[in-house]
């Protein structure tokens, strides 16, 4: 491995491990080769702590990078057009074998101007000064004894404009001091340190942080115990308001720690949050400051979000609820990043307020960042992209460890839903999760141990879903058994077990889902997986016939009850699905063979030939029917049955 790359990984991992320095995985690093022909730099969207010899960096030709800054023709382009052109040129300057979406840092041209090793961070301790009205004066005092005083960089738009500004400032500094600056303090942005060696660069970082930390306060307080139900109700409230205002479904994640508790208990918390965004990162990831909420009322919060959108601002994604904690609406993958950046802003706001007041990004500055393609790209990489008719809907599937439950769970994930995999067989549920992860890398799943016949177990499964994602849009009842006996030979315990799993299980899950959806107040979809045997009874199947017919009638009754809440309830009644089924086990196949006087190996072809289409039904066929019924394409369909059976049972 090249020595420069080795040095880059070393300094990146060292600073990236400290969340107070990088705020949500941000920051950039670079190291130039000894011959100054190349520069290794962090790739955009990569967390510094995750950089390794195989990923997270690009190698660039240094002369090509520096030529961008000296190209005066770029000044004549419109801002956003120019920034896209700069990104393209930076990509062209890359000289490595890396393929894919790994762009070099958008600040690569800025790094090229400085010494061999460059570390760019957003430490909260430095940020307190950079966002304070008297911050510059205080920093000059803090570092007055240094032979090479820090270079103060007034705020300008990031990207090309910032690189050109720093080029001019570094040139003037070098003329006056006869040396290049080692510390650059960027107003409302962050810290740059630059040195000849990795050790010297890391030493500078530690020195700056130590000095800046000495006179700052940490707004920490001991957490107060909060009832879980209060947290869940607040999450449902936030989610309803967010979806109503933005039209975008999303999970809601709850955070509470000593840092959050310390800020929310301040009497001036509301005032401190009333300003705009502090830095580009707070605007890109957190959409600005957290919204202060005295009392969780979905209508009121939705109105405030709509007002933000109406006036051209980014709508809040973080909500600080008095006496509860912080709620983040958005993809789970970036929720922790938002939390870190918001908590970072709490610290800065408290300390900057003590230093003459808080300086925030102006309207024009925010407008540039909001329209900057580079930041949109970085956010997209961090959050991932999910697309489909059920994009970011939250679903729970019972019996998700095998058979139709597994197929339906995979189908929902394909359609963009987040899926809780509930099954009494937790190992099987985990296998389903692994299948989804392999096919749909961006898919989101959790597993929940669930005995559908046990009231407490069912509630625990839904509580796990709420605690993880903060809401519920879809329930699919798919757990079931099919004890096959002639009537005269049916054991009563098998009859009762079928009633418990196929009816009580559907009832308990349906009841819990309905309660949550009503509390959430934004509708939902419940699907009961019945069977063609619920419509057209089969021989030697009394428990299955009865329970599958019962599931249909339960669904119809629920549709009538829950319609006023916008909750739709429907059934799918599949034909025989053999693929991955626990019902169609060898013993059950033998029973069917005996029933029709055929050999076991002839059972599946026999059933396929009974259909009008002469086509075997697969799990995906059933999943596609479920996805349709859960989607907005079926928004006026409730109390109905879809029969994906290749035409075996003709129902009108």
Residues annotated as part of the active site = 544
Alpha helices by DSSP H, listed for 46-114, are 62-70, 79-92, 108-113
Instruction: State how far the Cα of 232 lies from the Cα of 143, in Å rounded to an integer.
Output: 48
b/e sequence 132-167, b meaning 16+ C-beta within 10 Å: beebeebbeebbeeeeebbbbbebbbbbbebbbbbb
Beta strands at 183-186 and 190-195: parallel, antiparallel or unpaired: antiparallel
Instruction: State how far the Cα of 136 lies from the Cα of 130, in Å rounded to an integer.
Output: 7
For 642: left if phi > 0, alpha if psi spans -120 to 50, otherwise beta; the answer is beta
Instruction: State how far the Cα of 77 lies from the Cα of 167, in Å rounded to an integer.
Output: 19
List C-alpha distances in Å: 191 to 85, 118, 125, 267: 26, 10, 10, 31
Nearest to 325 by CA among 269, 264, 274, 273: 264
Report helix angle 198-213 to 135-142, nearest 10. Answer: 120
Q: Collapse the DSSP code of 57 into the 3-class scheme (helix H, G, I; strand E, B; otherwise coil) and give the result.
A: strand
Both tokens of 568, joined, read 């739709």
Sign of CA dihedral 390, 394, 396, 402: positive
Contact predicate 54/60, CB 8 Å: no
For 403: left if phi > 0, alpha if psi spans -120 to 50, otherwise beta; the answer is left
Contact predicate 607/576, CB 8 Å: yes
Instruction: State how far the Cα of 244 lies from the Cα of 523, in Å rounded to an integer.
Output: 11
Using CB atoms within 10 Å of the CB of residue 329, give its burial: 0 to 12 exposed, 13 to 18 middle, 19+ buried: buried
Nearest to 92 by CA among 60, 46, 54: 60
Q: Collapse the DSSP code of 597 into the 3-class scheme (helix H, G, I; strand E, B; otherwise coil) and give the result.
A: coil
Sign of CA dihedral 644, 450, 553, 545: positive
Alpha helices by DSSP H, listed for 521-585, are 542-562
In 250-307, which ranges are E strands? 252-255, 291-293
What is the DSSP-derived secondary structure letter of residue 192?
E
Block residue for tokens 């034909």: 575
Contact predicate 529/452, CB 8 Å: no
Block residue for tokens 């729970």: 396
Instruction: State how far the Cα of 295 lies from the Cα of 230, in Å rounded to an integer.
Output: 12
Both tokens of 517, joined, read 């959806």
Instruction: State how far the Cα of 206 lies from the Cα of 213, in Å rounded to an integer.
Output: 11
Sign of CA dihedral 139, 140, 143, 148: positive
Backbone angles phi, psi at 246, to 5 degrees: -105, -20
Residues facing residue 320 across a β-bridge? 292, 326
b/e sequence 45-66, b meaning 16+ C-beta within 10 Å: bbbbbebeeeebbbbbbbebbb
């Amino acid at each position: 491995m090249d020595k420069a790359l080795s040095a880059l990984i070393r300094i990146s991992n060292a600073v990236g491990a400290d969340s107070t320095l990088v705020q949500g995985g941000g920051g950039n690093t670079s190291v130039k080769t000894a011959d100054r022909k190349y520069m290794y730099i962090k790739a955009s969207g990569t967390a510094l702590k995750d950089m390794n010899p195989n990923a997270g960096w690009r190698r660039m030709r240094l002369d090509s990078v520096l030529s961008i800054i000296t190209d005066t023709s770029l000044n004549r382009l419109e801002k956003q057009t120019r920034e896209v052109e700069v990104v393209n040129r930076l990509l062209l300057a890359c000289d490595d074998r890396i393929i894919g979406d790994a762009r070099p840092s958008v600040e690569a041209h800025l790094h090229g101007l400085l010494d061999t090793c460059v570390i760019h961070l957003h430490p909260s301790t430095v940020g307190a000064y950079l966002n304070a009205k008297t911050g510059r004066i205080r920093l000059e005092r803090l570092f007055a004894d240094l032979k090479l005083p820090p270079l103060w960089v007034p705020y300008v738009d990031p990207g090309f404009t910032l690189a050109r500004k720093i080029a001019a400032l570094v040139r003037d500094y070098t003329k006056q001091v006869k040396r290049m600056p080692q510390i650059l303090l960027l107003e409302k942005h962050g810290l740059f340190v630059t040195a000849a060696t990795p050790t010297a660069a890391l030493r500078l970082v530690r020195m700056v942080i130590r000095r800046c930390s000495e006179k700052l306060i940490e707004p920490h307080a001991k957490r107060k115990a909060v009832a879980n139900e209060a947290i869940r109700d607040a999450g449902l409230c936030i989610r309803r308001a967010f979806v109503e205002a933005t039209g975008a479904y999303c999970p809601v994640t709850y955070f509470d720690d000593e840092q959050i508790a310390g800020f929310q208990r301040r009497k001036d918390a509301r005032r401190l949050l009333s300003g705009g965004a502090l830095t580009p990162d707070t605007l890109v990831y957190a959409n600005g400051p957290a919204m202060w909420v005295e009392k969780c009322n979905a209508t009121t919060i939705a109105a405030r979000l709509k007002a933000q959108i109406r006036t051209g601002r980014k709508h809040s994604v973080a909500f600080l609820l008095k006496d509860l904690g912080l709620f983040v609406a958005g993809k789970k993958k970036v929720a922790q990043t938002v939390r870190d950046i918001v908590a970072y802003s709490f610290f800065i706001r408290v300390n900057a307020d003590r230093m003459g007041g808080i300086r925030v990004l102006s309207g024009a500055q925010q407008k540039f960042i909001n329209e900057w393609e580079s930041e949109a790209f970085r956010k997209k990489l961090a959050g991932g992209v999910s697309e489909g008719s059920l994009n970011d809907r939250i679903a729970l599937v019972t019996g998700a460890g095998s058979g139709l439950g597994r197929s339906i769970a995979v189908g929902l994930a394909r359609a963009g839903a987040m899926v809780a995999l509930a099954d009494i067989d937790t190992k099987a549920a985990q296998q389903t999760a692994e299948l989804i992860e392999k096919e749909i890398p961006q898919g989101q799943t959790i597993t929940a141990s669930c005995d559908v016949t046990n009231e407490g177990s069912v509630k625990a499964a839904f509580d796990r879903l709420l605690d993880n994602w903060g809401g519920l849009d879809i329930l699919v009842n798919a757990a079931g058994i099919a004890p096959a006996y002639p009537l005269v030979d049916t054991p009563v315990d098998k009859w009762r077990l079928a009633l418990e799993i196929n009816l009580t299980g559907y009832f308990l899950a349906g009841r819990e889902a309905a309660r949550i959806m009503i509390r959430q107040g934004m509708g939902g979809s419940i699907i009961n997986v019945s069977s063609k045997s619920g419509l057209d009874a089969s021989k030697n199947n009394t428990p299955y016939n009865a329970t599958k017919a019962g599931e249909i009638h339960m669904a119809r009754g629920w549709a009538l009850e829950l319609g006023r809440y916008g909750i739709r309830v429907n059934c799918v009644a599949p034909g025989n699905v053999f693929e991955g089924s626990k019902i169609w086990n060898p013993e059950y196949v033998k029973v069917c063979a005996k029933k029709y006087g055929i050999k076991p190996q002839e059972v599946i072809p026999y059933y396929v030939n009974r259909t009008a289409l002469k086509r075997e039904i697969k799990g995906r066929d059933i999943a596609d029917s479920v996805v349709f019924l859960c989607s907005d394409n079926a928004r006026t369909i409730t109390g109905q049955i879809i029969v994906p059976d290749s035409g075996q049972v003709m129902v009108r």
